[in-house]
Structure 1
Amino acid sequence: MTLSSLVAASTTPAAVRPAIMVVAFEGWNDAGDAASSALKTIKAATGAVKLAGIGDEDYYDYQFSRPLMQRNAKGKRVIKWPTTRIYRAVVPDSPVDLLLVRGVEPSFRWKSFIAEILTRAEEENVQGVMVMGALLADVPHTRPIQASVSSEDPAVREALGAHAAGYEGPTGIVGVLAQFAEAAGLPTLSIWSAVPHYVAQPPSPKAQLALLHRVEELLPLALDLHELTEDALAWERGVDALATGDADVAAYVEQLEQAQDETALPEATGEAIAREFERYLKRRHGAAGTHEGHQDPGSRPGAPPAPQSPDTPGTPWSSDTPDSPGSPE
């Protein structure tokens, strides 16, 4: 069972094909830019077409989310304003389309902002919602990163094997959007990956890869992740080099490794093995991104259980950075 098949089975014929809305925002819920980068990858892979943008000045404080001065393809200096854009993508051989929402977390008027997104979602016949986020956590960069899936909807949990959301505390725009979508009767799930808090600066390709693997399983969607896999391996080697050059950091990483290894026994769970085998079969049967001889650092056979999402009590985000982009929801 995937989110796509779950949505397709529950929809009625309409003038517009049903769609699943996939959402990620830069800012508080996007440690290492992993979630927003993952959505950018999906947009490029699916050839998604822009439908609309959401009014900048209505929702953004430009002293907080500052515009950027850049040069465009013609070499002309232009200003890039913080905004949120909506795209639609047709997925081959899928009963549903994708509605991609990618932007910067707004500064104010969140309820109106979400109402505008959900109004557009209704116009586009959205029948399910997937939100992505990334948080800073006390996890080692040397171990596989997996993404956890949670939902408040019992039917979604039963069909997709998600766990119940249990987080209580400060939240971000994706947490609010997920709750509003659930209140509107849309099957909704959240996908979160952990980013080692001592390498919080973007990019974080290993966490991005973990998110995209989950997306592939839940939609389903075949993505060419070869280049991203190479980036994740290079990122891990780079962090290795930095860590070994500092005795204190090296000792701390070793401590995190030991703690995770002890809690992850036995190493190979039935769920991890089954997920890895399904991914192997999908790529073997012509899915994009099949490249033999390249080991995926974000998903290896025998991987330990996925880190808990910020919807789960006891999530080990860094207490030193409570206001960071990796803080819970």
Structure 2
Amino acid sequence: MSESMSKRRFMIAAFGGWNDACQAATDTVRHLLDVYESREIGHICCDSYYDYQSSRPMMCNVQGRKRIVWPETTFYEVTIDEHTTVYVEMGPEPNFHWSDYCQRSLRFADECEVTDIITLGAMFADCAHTRALPVSHSDGDDDDPENDSYCGPVGIPTVLNYAAAEDGFEARSLWVSIPQYLGGDDCPAGTMRLLEELGSIIGVGFDETDLADRAEKWRRKADMLIRCNDDLSDYVHHLERMMDESGEQDVPTPHAKQLVEETEEFLRSFDHPAAPEE
């Protein structure tokens, strides 16, 4: 790592919900917590920020005793190697008081002497699983993490990204595109792409452990899916041609919604096969 890079301190933030297609963004943080030495160093408590009818508390068994776990945001310190420590923030997207929530996040980053904040997101898009999943970058003063011409709803990663830039942090967002026709299963290929992009920014090679194997299994399952549906196969080949020729992620198709519905129905039957007739 260069001397200038060693002086930078990174915080990586990912939020569950609308911004997190197939949990690819929050799974990136979970991967870091699973693979590297980490410790909890702070929380943003829940009561002021969450609607419990949309982000419900969970009943869990902890050492044989029932316990209610409330939605909250947690901060961690993660040691990547002897030269690299990063901070991560993860929680459900809050329902209320976003400006105050972001300021609390930034105060925590300031206390940890963070210089760079990277927010992660994942979105469904018209892209092919047979190609490297696109990852878009933006700085905190860009118009949108997905597209410079975008006008429309945004999520907490975008709001935090802009607030960080206004407060003087180096701020950027990474968004991975997930094939919309594959439904809502986990997407290890998306997580791996975000991890690769993070590594190139921070200047480290992250341990991917089993991500490559899981991503290959994800692709094989998708291959089997398109072999069973001629319309979907034609659609994916169309996406491949468009991505190869122009690199564009959003390819309009009049049958996209129907294909997604058929795909989700197929995946449900795949995961829960009908009992054989006697």
TM-score by length of 1: 0.70
Residue identity opposite 2:24 in structure 1:
A
**Offset of 1:26 from its aligned partner?**
0.6
Distance 1:164 1:259, change over 3 A: closer
Are 2:19 and 2:155, in contact at CA under 8 Å, matched by a contact in 1? yes
Distance 1:89 1:33, change over 3 A: same
Matched residues in 2 for 1:146 and 1:216: separation? 16
Matched residues in 1 for 2:14 and 2:59: separation? 23
Q: How many pairs does the alignment contain?
A: 254
Are 2:37 and 2:80, in contact at CA under 8 Å, matched by a contact in 1? no
Matched residues in 1 for 2:135 and 2:44: separation? 29
Matched residues in 1 for 2:226 and 2:40: separation? 42
Are 1:7 and 1:127, in contact at CA under 8 Å, matched by a contact in 2? no
**Offset of 1:195 from its aligned partner?**
0.1
Deviations 1:180-218 (A, max 9, x none): 000001111111110001113130111111000011111
Query: Secondary structure at the residue paired with 2:115?
Result: strand
Q: 2:262 maps to which residue?
A: none
Tell me the C-alpha RMSD between the 2 structures: 2.8
| Equivalent residue in structure 2 for 1:48, among 25, 38, 42 | 38
Matched residues in 1 for 2:91 and 2:45: separation? 12
**Offset of 1:98 from its aligned partner?**
1.2
Are 2:46 and 2:71, in contact at CA under 8 Å, matched by a contact in 1? yes
Are 2:77 and 2:85, in contact at CA under 8 Å, matched by a contact in 1? yes
2:81 is equivalent to residue 92 of structure 1? yes
| Equivalent residue in structure 1 for 2:106, among 118, 136, 143 | 118
Matched residues in 2 for 1:248 and 1:166: separation? 31
Residue identity opposite 1:224 in structure 2:
D
Distance 1:53 1:217, change over 3 A: same
TM-score by length of 2: 0.82
2:54 is equivalent to residue 71 of structure 1? no
Matched residues in 2 for 1:245 and 1:163: separation? 32
**Offset of 1:152 from its aligned partner?**
4.1
Gaps of 5+ in 1: 9-17, 155-161, 265-306, 309-314, 321-329
Distance 1:37 1:184, change over 3 A: same
Matched residues in 2 for 1:35 and 1:137: separation? 15
| Equivalent residue in structure 1 for 2:174, among 155, 177, 191 | 191
**Offset of 1:77 from its aligned partner?**
3.6
**Offset of 1:176 from its aligned partner?**
0.2
Distance 1:80 1:139, change over 3 A: same
Identity %: 31
**Offset of 1:166 from its aligned partner?**
5.1
Are 1:151 and 1:190, in contact at CA under 8 Å, matched by a contact in 2? yes
**Offset of 1:251 from its aligned partner?**
2.1
| Equivalent residue in structure 2 for 1:27, among 17, 41, 44 | 17
Q: 1:139 maps to which residue?
A: 127
Q: How do residues 180-329 of structure 1 correspond to structure 2 at under 5 angstroms?
A: 180-264=163-247
Matched residues in 2 for 1:45 and 1:123: separation? 25
Deviations 1:200-250 (A, max 9, x none): 313011111100001111112332214110000001111111221122222
Matched residues in 2 for 1:82 and 1:168: separation? 30
Are 1:59 and 1:113, in contact at CA under 8 Å, matched by a contact in 2? yes
**Offset of 1:163 from its aligned partner?**
11
Matched residues in 1 for 2:235 and 2:147: separation? 32
Are 2:59 and 2:68, in contact at CA under 8 Å, matched by a contact in 1? yes
**Offset of 1:66 from its aligned partner?**
1.6
Say which structure is richer in strand: 2
Distance 1:163 1:239, change over 3 A: closer
Q: 2:69 maps to which residue?
A: 80
Are 2:140 and 2:164, in contact at CA under 8 Å, matched by a contact in 1? no
Distance 1:188 1:164, change over 3 A: farther
Matched residues in 2 for 1:226 and 1:146: separation? 22
Gaps of 5+ in 2: 258-278
